[in-house]
Every structure is written in C-alpha cells, then in structure tokens.
C-alpha cells in the first residue's frame, strides 16, 4: 500500500506547481488503510482545512481515474509507521497486487484490496471544485517578451504585483497561439508563489458555463455562487467569446463580477475579440469586460521569434545550429505554437533518423508546413468538406437548416478558423452567414469533437489531408 500511495503522489506532482506540492502534498504521510479507504497524517488542523478545500478532490479524481472510489480521512500527528493489515502466522511470502493493479513484495496476502464498483460521481465534478491546473511552465520567467507583447507583459506583471491603479481587471486580446494563456496563468503563478493570494480560480468560459448548468441540475447553485462570489480572490477566465448567445451564463457572470469588483479582487480575461465585437453579448457584461485595461498580443517579429527558439532549444537540452534557428524563425512567422511545432519537428526528425540537425533537415520538415499553409484558403476547405460529406458547394452556401447541410457548414467554418488567417467575420461572410453564426459554428464543433465520436474522426481525416497537402 505504501507503494500505491507514492504512485498517487507522483501523479499529483506532475499536475500542480512545484511550490504547491512541496508545501501541501509532500508533508502528507500514509498513516493507515483498510478495505474502505486510507488515513493520512497532517501537521495540524489548519493543514487539514487547506487540503480539504484545495486538494481533496484532486486525490479523489486520481483514484477515480484508476477505477476506484476511496474514502480519505486525515489525522493530526507526526509521521508514523503505516498500520496496514496484520500478518498471519505461518503464511508464506507472496506477491500481492496493490489497489492500482501493480505487484509489490509483501509478507501477507490476508487482506487484499478488493476493487470497488466504479463510483457514479460525474467526472466533471472533481474538475469543477478545483478548476483547471496552472501549467508549470507558464510563468513570467518563461515568457519571451518582444515588441509584440511588451505592454501585455508589463500590464500582467503589474496586476500580479498589485501595482495597477483603479479596477483590477485585465483583458488579454489576441489570436490563438500568441501567449494569452501563458500570461494569464503567469499572473496566477506569481500571486500564489508570493503569497498574494491562495484562491486563484483558473477556468475557461466553457468550464464556467458547464459548471453552472451542472449546479442547476444538481441543486447546488448556491454552492456555485458562493465559490465564485465569496471564495474567489483571483479569477482567470479564458476564451470569453465562448459566451456568445449564452444569456443565462452572461447574467450570472456579470453578477459575479460585481461581487468580485466590490471586494477589490483581481480578474483576468482572455479572448480573440474585443468585448464590443463579440456578438450576442449583453450590454451589462460588455460594460464589465471593458472596465479594465485591454492589452493586445500580436504576432512576434523576427528577433522575438529567434529568442523564443533559443529559449526552447535550451529547454530541450539539444544543440541546434544558429543558422537552423534563423531559418525556422524566418519561415514560420504566424504564431508561437507554429514556431514551437516547427522546432520540435526538426529536433525529433534529427533524433529519429540519427542525423545532424542542419538546414537541409530543417527544410525537409518545414517545406510541408509553409507550402501547405500558403495554399490553404477557405475555398479549398469548402471543397474538401463538400467531398467528405457528399454535398455540393451550392448546398454549403445555401440557407438550408437541414442537419446534413448545417453540420458540414459548421465543420468548414471550424477548419477555416484553424487553418487560415482570416478573421471570423470574413469566414462568416464567405459562407454568407453572420459573424455570430460563424462563432456559434466554431464553438459547436469544438464542443462536439471533445466527445471523440464520428465527427471527430471525420475532422481528423480532413485535417490530415490538409496538413499533408493532399488536396
């Protein structure tokens, strides 16, 4: 059982910041266990309170992921020997399976863990209570600042340090892959690390919406309101454009923001569009989103791209010639994610093929990326989607609301946003649809592909054709 406990701690260590693990998880010790659950020792009562509020659901979530429902109790005391099943006399040594299915040596097989039935607790519940985890590498120290992001970086750091004047609201604006998530989470990391706040809630607008619906259906809306209105000290809310058309969620969020602002709490939003340009967003919420400082992150220039590559190369622990980094920085200029993808591709191919990393190798990797990207446009995507779903281009451009037409149209809009640089308004007009319809279509497909059903496979198939240049 001791090995089982160490495995759980190991999984948690990978998902939370190092300082949080050292402060709250590492001091815990396995005190005892039986067929119904485990008992952990903690230094004091305050420690127990913090663990239950912030990490208990993470432990349960890890157990549930492995198909087990485990009751966890805490006891205030120092580290002691684990009180497990007692040894039975004259019993031979055996290999006992722990609760995770792993074998470990033991002197007894008397009290083996019986695999309980899978708990009916919804998977979303655990993530709702704890929110999303801040990524370890998303700190201010790891962010490469350039002319494209200098103001956004300074504004974010000032907010984290409590140096902003007026309302503590920041709106990070920019295309996907430019660093909005990195900066917003860096604020959370900084405030936690410097003891400025211990209640940082990081969620997407979709998470917030789903959590509210879950609370309404399960008659726990009061707990939901208490969590965000009273307990939250720093709210990081990403992809705010997802709230387009979600009237009930917009009203609840606007009220929540009033509570947080009255209590002088910090709020960080991120989105691909300005609040005033998000369709079907009520005036009350628009005014709240526009109260703070709006900062835009643009595509990095050549010098910044080169600095990003150098930093990533050092992190990978491999040697990439200066000329290769310069070539990648010159060829891939759309966003940071594309830049990283190109670098990782070059390094990976060099290692797999056991070749030196040089310009020739880099060209072989980047040629497909740059060539295909230049050729990809909305008309090409329409053609590919129509072929896949066996409809005509006239159908996809029509006003038909039949599912056999609407779904392919939504897929085409989603792929157009993913593979072209066209703004969402242009994508909508290319299908003779309003701006709001295009946003709704993209959001609907993003939500559906998470279920990994038939549509996921179809989109994956089309995406591979696009990326491979098989037009």
Does 336 lie in the same domain as 203?
A: no
What is the spatial distance between Cα 128 and Cα 260, in angstroms, rounded to a whole number? 19
pLDDT category, 18, cuts 50, 70, 90? low
339 and 416 co-located in one domain:
no
Domain count, the chain: 4
Check whether residue 226 and residue 258 sit in a common domain: yes
Residue 109 included in any domain? no
Host domain of residue 442: 378-468
108 within domain boundaries: no
**Euclidean distance between CA atoms 233 and 197, whole angstroms:** 7
Can you give the CATH number for the domain in which 184 is found? Answer: 3.40.50.300
| pLDDT the model gives residue 26 | 81
- Per DSSP (E only), the strands in 198-281 are 200-204, 234-238, 266-271
User: How buried is residue 47: exposed, middle or buried, by Cβ count under 10 Å (0-12/13-18/19+)?
Assistant: middle
Quote the CA–CA distance of 165 and 94 in Å, as a whole number.
67
Dihedrals φ, ψ of 406, to 5°? -60, -45
Asked which of 61, 84, 107 is the last residue of a domain, the reply is 84
Kindly write down the DSSP assignment for every residue of 248-313, as one continuous string: HHHHHHHHHHHHHHHTT-EEEEEESS-GGGSTT--HHHHHHHTSSEEEE-----HHHHHHHHHHHH
Query: 355 and 275, same structural domain?
Result: no
Residues 23 and 150 in one domain: no
Tokens of 159: 């907010």
Residue 462 falls inside a structural domain:
yes
Same domain, 283 and 407: no
Note whether residue 111 is domain-resident.
no
Q: Answer yes or no: is pLDDT of 341 > 80.
A: yes
Place of tokens 């997802």: 242
Q: Please give the Cα distance from 222 to 238 (Å, whole number).
A: 23
Co-location of 151 and 235 in the same domain: yes
The answer to whether position 40 is within a domain reads: yes
Closest CA to 331 of 372, 296, 298, 297: 372
Query: What residues have CB less than 8 Å from 367, skipping those under 6 apart?
Result: none
Residues 6+ away with beta carbon under 8 Å from 208? 237, 249, 253
Q: What pLDDT, on the 0 to 100 scale, is given for residue 426? A: 86
> Which of 194-208, 237-251, 261-275 shows the lowest per-residue confidence on average (mean pLDDT)?
194-208
121-151, pLDDT tens digit by residue?
333 333 334 457 788 888 898 898 888 899 9
Are both 179 and 289 inside the same structural domain? yes
Q: In Å, what is the CA distance from 459 to each residue of 130, 222, 326, 341, 418?
A: 31, 39, 34, 20, 11
Tell me which DSSP letter residue 24 carries. Answer: I
For residues 178 and 289, membership in a common domain is answered with yes
* pLDDT-derived band at 288, boundaries 50, 70, 90: confident
Q: How far is CA 411 from CA 324, 381, 448, 450, in A?
A: 36, 9, 10, 14
pLDDT tens column, 436-470: 888 889 888 988 887 777 888 888 888 878 776 66
Listed residues 46, 64, 84: the one ending a domain: 84
Looking at the fold, whether 416 and 383 belong to one and the same domain comes out as: yes
Indicate which CATH number applies to the domain containing 354: 1.10.8.60
Sole residue written with tokens 């709704």:
440
Domain of residue 416, CATH code = 1.10.1750.10
Q: How far apart are the first and last CA of the chain?
A: 55
Q: What is the pLDDT of residue 412?
A: 93
pLDDT digits (tens, 9 = 90+) for 362-380: 888 887 666 655 567 888 8
Residue 282 token pair = 């009520």
Establish if 63 belongs to a structural domain. yes
Domain CATH code at residue 21? 3.30.300.180
Last residue of a domain, one of 84, 116, 134: 84
Asked whether the predicted pLDDT for residue 95 surpasses 90, the reply is no
**Across 227-256, average pLDDT:** 89
Q: Which pairing describes strands 94-97 and 266-271: parallel, antiparallel, or unpaired?
A: unpaired
* Under 8 Å between Cβ of 212 and 252: yes
The answer to whether residues 157 and 23 belong to one domain is no
Can you read off the two tokens belonging to residue 452?
């990994």
Residue 122 counted as domain residue: no
pLDDT of residue 471: 62
Length of the chain equals 471
Which pLDDT belongs to residue 123? 31
Average pLDDT of the chain is 79
Which position has the token pair 């609907």? 444
Domain check: are 364 and 394 in the same one?
no
Q: Does residue 337 lie in a domain region?
A: yes
Arithmetic mean of pLDDT, 410-420: 88
């Amino acid at each position: 059982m001791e090995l089982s406990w160490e495995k759980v701690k190991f999984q948690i260590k990978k998902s939370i910041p190092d300082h949080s693990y050292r402060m709250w998880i590492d001091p815990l010790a396995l005190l005892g266990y039986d067929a119904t659950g485990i008992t952990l020792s903690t230094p004091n009562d305050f420690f127990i309170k913090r663990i239950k509020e912030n990490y208990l659901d993470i432990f349960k979530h890890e157990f549930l992921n492995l198909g087990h429902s485990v009751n966890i109790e805490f006891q205030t005391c120092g580290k002691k020997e684990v009180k497990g099943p007692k040894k039975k006399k004259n019993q031979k040594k055996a290999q006992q399976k722990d609760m995770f299915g792993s074998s470990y040596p033991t002197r007894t097989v008397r009290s083996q863990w019986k695999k309980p039935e899978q708990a009916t607790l919804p998977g979303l519940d655990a993530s709702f209570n704890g929110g999303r985890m801040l990524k370890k590498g998303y700190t201010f120290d790891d962010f490469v600042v350039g002319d494209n992001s200098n103001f956004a970086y300074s504004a974010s750091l000032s907010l984290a340090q409590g140096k902003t004047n007026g309302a503590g609201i920041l709106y990070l604006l920019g295309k996907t892959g430019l660093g909005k998530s990195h900066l917003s989470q860096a604020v959370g990391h900084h405030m936690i690390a410097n003891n400025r706040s211990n209640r940082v809630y990081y969620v997407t607008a979709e998470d917030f919406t789903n959590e509210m619906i879950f609370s309404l259906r399960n008659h726990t809306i009061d707990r939901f309101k208490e969590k965000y209105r009273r307990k939250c000290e720093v709210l990081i809310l990403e992809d705010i454009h997802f709230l387009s058309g979600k009237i009930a969620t917009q009203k609840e969020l606007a009220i929540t923001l009033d509570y947080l602002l009255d209590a002088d709490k910090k709020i960080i939003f991120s989105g691909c569009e300005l609040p005033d340009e998000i369709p079907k967003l009520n005036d009350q919420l628009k005014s709240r989103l526009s109260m703070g400082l709006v900062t835009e992150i643009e595509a990095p220039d050549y010098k910044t791209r080169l600095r990003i590559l150098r930093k990533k190369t050092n992190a990978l622990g491999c040697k990439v010639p200066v000329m290769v980094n310069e070539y990648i920085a010159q060829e891939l200029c759309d966003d940071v994610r594309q830049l990283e993808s190109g670098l990782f591709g070059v390094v990976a191919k060099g290692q797999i093929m056991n070749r030196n990393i040089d310009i020739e190798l880099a060209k072989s990797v980047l040629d497909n990326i740059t060539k295909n990207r230049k050729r990809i446009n909305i008309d090409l995507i329409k053609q590919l989607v129509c072929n896949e779903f066996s409809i005509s281009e006239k159908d996809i451009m029509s006003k038909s609301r039949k599912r056999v037409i609407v779904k392919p149209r939504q897929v085409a809009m989603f792929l157009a946003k993913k593979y072209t640089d066209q703004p969402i308004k242009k994508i909508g007009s290319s299908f003779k649809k309003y701006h709001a319809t295009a946003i709704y279509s993209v959001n609907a497909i993003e939500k559906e592909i998470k279920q990994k059903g038939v549509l996921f496979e179809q989109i994956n198939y089309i995406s591979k054709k696009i990326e491979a240049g098989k037009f």
